[in-house]
Amino acid sequence: MRGLALKELGGTCAILVGACYIVIGINYLVLPPEQAATADPAQFLLSFASRPTQISLQYLLFGAIGLLGLAVVPAVCDRVRPASEGWVRWGGNLGVLGFAVTALNFFRIYGIQRGRAALFGLAEPAVRQIMASTDDLVSLDPQGWLGFGAVGLWVLIMSWLALRGGLWPKALGGLGIAVGILYFLVVAAFLFESETLLALAAGLGAAVAGPIWYIWVGLRLRRESAQGG
């Protein structure tokens, strides 16, 4: 019964993660240019103060994904565990770490940037320069190695194990491997400050491949729970 309840909760949360990613991916593609992740910090803060809705939605949805992911990881790991206890334990720890950092990081960014944006327009030029130059310190994971990289590695490991053990359809496993790679594309985009890579990751990963994978996994988990195993 505990395993079935875990699948039901994890499956529901996986579907919600997929829904959040759809909104994030679409919203990112229509964000004002000055609110893009690689935008100039001064322009970003001025834009945040005047148009806070869209970027605030991004931060809050990413934070929600972090919290929901903490229920998805144990459910997926429990399903894939027969393939390899050791790999599942390590991969599961990476997934929990990545989703926890995601929640902490984006809720923190939302709270801090709201205050910074409100103060930036009123500050003296010297203070503005200091605020803009310290923008990278706001994030706990500025290049996404944990929030995106660790989660991507978890997706890769789970998908590879599920394929090797015949636990998932080949299409689902292959899609999971693609999603894991797209997570690392986000890390590369931040590392090289490439808006093109970030837009590609948002379009293919957040708006298309990621939601399909999470929702597909969630539906399978819920169906197995309803069927009793």
CA distance 28 to 25: 5
Residues 6+ positions from 223 with CB-CB distance below 8 Å: 11
Q: Residue 105 is which amino acid?
A: N
Q: Tokens at residue 50, please? A: 């005047």
pLDDT 10s digits, 112-150: 999 999 999 889 999 999 999 999 899 999 999 999 999
What confidence category does residue 39 fall into, taking pLDDT thresholds of 50, 70 and 90?
Answer: confident
Question: What is the dotted CATH code of the domain comprising 2-38+58-111+138-227?
Answer: 1.25.40
pLDDT 10s digits, 45-99: 999 999 999 999 999 999 999 999 999 999 999 999 999 999 999 999 999 999 9
Length of the chain counted residue by residue: 229
